[in-house]
Amino acid sequence: MGVARRTSVAALCAGLVATLFTTGPARAEQDAHAWAVSGPERTTASPAPRARVSLDDTTGKLSLAVSRGGRTVIEPSPVGIVTEQADFSQDLRFLHRKDRMVDERYRTKSGKRLERRALMNETRLSFATPEGARLDLVVRASADGVAYRYVLPAAYGDVLGETSAFRLPSDANAWLGTYRVDNEGQFAPYTAASAPTGEYSDQALFETDGGYTLLAESDLTGTYSGARLAHDQGTGTYRIKLADDRVRTDGPLATPWRAMVTGDLTTVTRSTFTDDLARASKVADTTWVRPGTVLWTWLAGGRPAGQSLAAQKTYVDYAAERNWPYEAVDAGWYFKADAWDTTDPDWQANSWLPELVDHARAKGVGIIVWIHQRELDTPEERAQWLPTLERWGVKGVKIDFMDSEKQPMLQWYDAILKETAAHHLMVNFHGSTIPKGMQRTWPHVMTLEGVAGEEKRTNTAVHLTTLPFTRNVIGSMDFTPGAFQRVGLRPNSDAAEVGLAVTYESGFQMLAGTPESYDARPLARAFFEQIPAAWDDTRLLTGRPGQEAVLARRDGDRWFLGGVYAGAARTAEVPLSIGPGRWLVETIRDGADGLVQDRQVLRGGDTFTVDVVTNGGFAAIACPWKPGVTTCYR
């Protein structure tokens, strides 16, 4: 072998060794002052995102940028946290790096799909202040997202705030919801810089040349404080603002994940990234956790119906006829004048709820009950209510009016989640935070409001067509569709209202209509009788935030389709991207005199058309077709 050849081979080997030692399992790259980590690649058509952390030589400040396929997702953005005893936002020096791969398989009880795999590359970067205080910045990258969190290995006092922010190109399209403590702000379109000065929900969607990015948060517990986005008009910067001015800590701390779900719209809507980041289930036996359709009549009857045993029995009977597994009793059932006197030892004996539960059980229907958070805000109150409801046979609780993401309320969530699980009570939170990974850790949480839902009288069609790309990406959303009786109070058509039961995912799909409104629309009623509340798969067929959204969700060998549109009437074109073969597609749309149904046989991949009215939509069921198959309904 010649000298030149031996030299080139030696150089090649040395290069390979150097590559092995610098990339590691997390595929991280680094130079003297920057470190990068990329998500596992799945397809070349949809490249995985790449995070790059940089340390400024002069200021000692950290920043993080995200790209995808070499294109901008998030511009270099500040990273830092400040505590009573240490400032981790500047003057940092690098200590060391550790890489690993996270590969977890888990199964959920509800959501976009039941079987999940969390596959992420992780890099832990350690830094120190001049005084020797240590900060670990943990960065994870998957095929559909990037996230980071701060880990303080020692106690450095209470957290006074973060310098974390997200910088977007000024002209990036943005869909933002004004922040409210109940997370019920409406979503509207802006550009990153043109959005008015104010505070926005942290579930903000942006479109850059790197695709779409939904900002999010995961693994939020009572050890920290909820986040929102603060923005000054004229800039593309969105700062993390905590609900508390001071976050109490008493030892080492791992903050929630600051997450960026990113990719094309198909990737973003299908993503379970915020669940993947969260901690594993704390409920060992989940056999009692059963998602399902719920008949909920509050929007029609209000408190008088909630106070009437006779009315509730009628609703139970109607749910049983539809094979709906649950009926919800809202506010009023435990009110006697102003409220029950729970200090009276006979207060529980005065309730008619056990009689209703027995009536419902005989018909195969479970009862969900509404209860105000103030009735459960102390350990003593929870010790009264929760065992009693379990003993009566109630299946779940709808807890309302938390209206805060401050640390004390998050600590209450920690307590109530553990205790409702112990008493086999499924949960629907209203006036609440949003899931943020909660449904993986606590799988008995079937749904959360945290949305400007059907109850609102000012919703727009733009808002309705934005929710599938923002709030509902994060987790189950109790929008409560099906309120046909609210004509004039909702912005959409009857067919769109049917479609929302598919377009919007919820482990408890609370149908907000009345028996009379369903009987007047037998096609809608028959569709609702078919629909499940847990899905094997989810796909976006077509969509654009604020304009249209058509989602397909699979249950066994059937696909359920829901479409919602904003704007003028049109003939919508929908690709049937649900798999090869021939499919029978039964579509419900708006006709001149009410809902109508169409049937056609199509091949997977074909484009089918649906006539959509102004601010309208449609619903459909598709099943494998063969000669003799005439309907997908069972």
432 within domain boundaries? yes
Per the model's pLDDT, the better-predicted residue between 364 and 1 turns out to be 364
CB burial class (10 A; 0-12, 13-18, 19+) of residue 573? exposed
Supply 408's token pair: 């004390």
What integer pLDDT is reported at residue 509 of this predicted model? Answer: 98
Question: Which residue has 């969900």 as its token pair?
Answer: 368
Please check the confidence at residue 8 and state whether its pLDDT lies above 70. no
What integer pLDDT is reported at residue 451 of this predicted model? Answer: 98
Please check the confidence at residue 337 and state whether its pLDDT lies above 70. no
Distance, in Å, from the CA atom of 180 to the CA atom of 202, rounded to the nearest integer, reads 11
Same domain, 168 and 231: yes
**pTM higher than 0.85:** yes
Rounded (5°) CA angle 48-606-264: 20
Please check the confidence at residue 385 and state whether its pLDDT lies above 60. yes
φ, ψ at 69 (rounded to 5°): 60, 30
What integer pLDDT is reported at residue 237 of this predicted model? Answer: 98
Q: What is the pLDDT of residues 476-486, one digit of tens each?
A: 999 999 999 99
Residue 274 neighbours by CB under 8 Å, 6+ apart: 216, 217, 218, 257, 259, 261, 435, 436, 437, 474, 475
394 within domain boundaries? yes
Q: Which of 277, 307, 335 is the last residue of a domain?
A: 277
Same domain, 255 and 303: no
Q: What is the pLDDT of residues 440-486, one digit of tens each?
A: 999 999 999 999 999 999 999 999 999 999 999 999 999 999 999 99
Q: How confident is the model over 18-39, as a mean pLDDT?
A: 60
Q: How confident is the model over 157-163, as a mean pLDDT?
A: 98
Q: Which of 536, 561, 593 is the last residue of a domain?
A: 536
φ, ψ at 43 (rounded to 5°): -140, 150
Q: How confident is the model over 414-418, as a mean pLDDT?
A: 98
Enclosing H/E stretch for 517: helix 515-519
CB burial class (10 A; 0-12, 13-18, 19+) of residue 411? middle
Distance, in Å, from the CA atom of 624 to the CA atom of 634, rounded to the nearest integer, reads 13
Same domain, 297 and 261: no
556 within domain boundaries? no
Q: How confident is the model over 218-239, as a mean pLDDT?
A: 98
Rounded (5°) CA angle 259-262-263: 165
Q: What is the pLDDT of residues 230-274, one digit of tens each?
A: 999 999 999 999 999 999 999 999 999 999 999 999 999 999 999
CA nearest neighbour of 65 among 50, 48, 46 = 50
Per the model's pLDDT, the better-predicted residue between 260 and 305 turns out to be 260
Q: How confident is the model over 377-383, as a mean pLDDT?
A: 96
Distance, in Å, from the CA atom of 169 to the CA atom of 207, rounded to the nearest integer, reads 9
Q: What is the pLDDT of residues 29-40, one digit of tens each?
A: 555 699 999 999
Tally of structural domains, the chain: 2
Confidence band of 350 (pLDDT split at 50, 70, 90): low
Residue 282 neighbours by CB under 8 Å, 6+ apart: 418, 421, 441, 442
Same domain, 266 and 305: no
Q: How confident is the model over 324-335, as a mean pLDDT?
A: 89
**H helices, E strands: number in the chain:** 14, 36
| Percent of the chain scoring above 70 in pLDDT | 92
Please check the confidence at residue 1 and state whether its pLDDT lies above 60. no
What integer pLDDT is reported at residue 303 of this predicted model? Answer: 73
Per the model's pLDDT, the better-predicted residue between 25 and 521 turns out to be 521
Q: What is the pLDDT of residues 561-598, one digit of tens each?
A: 999 999 999 999 999 999 999 999 999 999 999 999 99
Please check the confidence at residue 9 and state whether its pLDDT lies above 70. no
Q: Which of 277, 300, 317 is the last residue of a domain?
A: 277
Same domain, 394 and 472: yes
630 within domain boundaries? no
Q: Say what angle helices 309-322 and 298-306 make with each other, to 10 degrees.
A: 140
Same domain, 437 and 339: yes
Same domain, 374 and 239: no
Give the SS3 label for residue 269.
helix
Confidence band of 345 (pLDDT split at 50, 70, 90): low
What integer pLDDT is reported at residue 308 of this predicted model? Answer: 86
Contact status, residue 543 vs residue 327, Cβ threshold 8 Å? no
Distance, in Å, from the CA atom of 165 to the CA atom of 239, rounded to the nearest integer, reads 4
Q: How confident is the model over 281-292, as a mean pLDDT?
A: 98
548 within domain boundaries? no
Distance, in Å, from the CA atom of 325 to the CA atom of 367, rounded to the nearest integer, reads 9
Per the model's pLDDT, the better-predicted residue between 27 and 183 turns out to be 183
Question: Which residue has 């005065």 as its token pair?
Answer: 350
Same domain, 310 and 167: no
What integer pLDDT is reported at residue 307 of this predicted model? Answer: 76
CA nearest neighbour of 491 among 517, 457, 520 = 457
Give buried/exposed letters for 176-186 (b at 16+ CB in 10 A, else e). Answer: bbbbbbbbbbb
Give the SS3 label for residue 159.
strand
Please check the confidence at residue 306 and state whether its pLDDT lies above 80. no
Q: Give residue 379's identity as a one-letter amino acid code.
A: P
- Among the ranges 42-46, 521-525, 530-534, which has the highest mean pLDDT value? 521-525
335 within domain boundaries? yes
Same domain, 514 and 399: yes
CB burial class (10 A; 0-12, 13-18, 19+) of residue 409? buried
What integer pLDDT is reported at residue 19 of this predicted model? Answer: 35
Distance, in Å, from the CA atom of 443 to the CA atom of 440, rounded to the nearest integer, reads 5
Residue 468 is part of which domain span? 292-536
Say which DSSP state 373 is in. G
Same domain, 218 and 349: no
CATH number of the domain where residue 240 is located: 2.70.98.10
Same domain, 419 and 524: yes
φ, ψ at 424 (rounded to 5°): 55, 45
Q: What is the pLDDT of residues 68-95, one digit of tens each?
A: 999 999 999 999 999 999 999 999 999 9
Please check the confidence at residue 524 and state whether its pLDDT lies above 50. yes
What integer pLDDT is reported at residue 45 of this predicted model? Answer: 65
Q: How confident is the model over 622-630, as a mean pLDDT?
A: 96
Distance, in Å, from the CA atom of 347 to the CA atom of 344, rounded to the nearest integer, reads 5
| Percent of the chain scoring above 90 in pLDDT | 88
CATH number of the domain where residue 454 is located: 3.20.20.70
SS3 content of the chain, % helix, strand, coil (to 5): 25, 35, 40
Please check the confidence at residue 10 and state whether its pLDDT lies above 50. no
Alpha-carbon Rg for the chain in angstroms: 26
Same domain, 235 and 297: no
Which of 276-280, 305-309, 329-333, 384-388 is least confident?
A: 305-309
Q: List, in sequence order, the alpha helices (H) in 350-436.
A: 353-362, 379-392, 407-422
Contact status, residue 408 vs residue 378, Cβ threshold 8 Å? no
206 within domain boundaries? yes
Confidence band of 304 (pLDDT split at 50, 70, 90): confident
Confidence band of 290 (pLDDT split at 50, 70, 90): very high
Beta strand 426-429 with 445-448 is: parallel
**Mean pLDDT, the chain, whole residue set:** 92
Active site residues: 400, 455
386 within domain boundaries? yes
Distance, in Å, from the CA atom of 408 to the CA atom of 160, rounded to the nearest integer, reads 16
What integer pLDDT is reported at residue 333 of this predicted model? Answer: 86
